[in-house]
């Protein structure tokens, strides 16, 4: 398992993550940092898989912003409940504007959730 570089913040509302190429929902964010996330989804994601994903995140003004980022799965694990899986992902591609939105969300997660 790979060590985290940043503190991750739990989400206070469901943030659904979709595959930007197919439009299929691949899961929801369990926690989020400036450089990664934990996804919780119905299917396992293979380690090292790359995805272009989209999700809505509230900005500093509490307005929803659609982020489209590239992620790489670092690890995947089945949960105790049937058909649920965790996947630890690192962000490998994000625009500077979207990084600012993400950084602000992480800094103020308890207020913006």
Dmax of the chain from CA atoms?
38
Q: Is residue 99 part of a domain?
A: yes
Q: Is residue 100 part of a domain?
A: yes
Query: Which residues, at least 6 apart from 97, have a Cβ–Cβ distance to it below 8 Å?
Result: none
Q: In the block, which residue shows the tokens 């060590």?
A: 3
Burial class (CB in 10 A: 0-12, 13-18, 19+), 59: middle
Quickly state the pLDDT bin for 7 (edges 50, 70, 90): confident
Q: Is residue 1 part of a domain?
A: no
Parent domain of 31 = 9-112
Q: Is residue 46 part of a domain?
A: yes
Give me the CATH number covering residue 40.
Answer: 2.40.10.220
Q: pLDDT tens digits, residue range 39-88?
A: 999 988 999 999 999 999 988 788 999 999 999 999 999 988 778 899 99
Q: Is residue 69 part of a domain?
A: yes
**Structure tokens that stand for 76 in this block:** 């995947």
**Number of compact structural domains in the chain:** 1
Q: Is residue 82 part of a domain?
A: yes
Examine the pLDDT at 104 and tell me if it is beyond 50.
yes
Closest CA to 32 of 112, 102, 108: 102
**Structure tokens that stand for 27 in this block:** 């899961």
**Whole-model pTM above 0.95?**
no
Angle of CA points 72, 75, 78, to nearest 5°: 125
Do residues 71 and 89 touch, judged by C-beta distance below 8 A?
yes
Q: What is the mean pLDDT of the chain?
A: 89
């Amino acid at each position: 398992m790979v060590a985290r570089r940043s503190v991750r913040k739990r989400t206070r509302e469901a943030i659904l993550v979709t595959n930007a190429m197919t439009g299929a929902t691949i899961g929801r964010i369990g926690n989020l940092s400036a450089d990664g996330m934990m996804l919780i989804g119905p299917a396992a994601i293979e380690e090292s898989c790359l995805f272009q994903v989209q999700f809505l995140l509230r900005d500093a003004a509490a307005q929803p912003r659609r982020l489209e980022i590239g992620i790489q799965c670092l690890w995947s694990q089945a949960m105790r409940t049937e058909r649920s899986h965790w996947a630890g992902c690192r962000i490998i591609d994000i625009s500077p504007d979207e990084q600012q939105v993400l950084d602000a969300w992480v800094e103020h997660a308890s207020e913006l959730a």
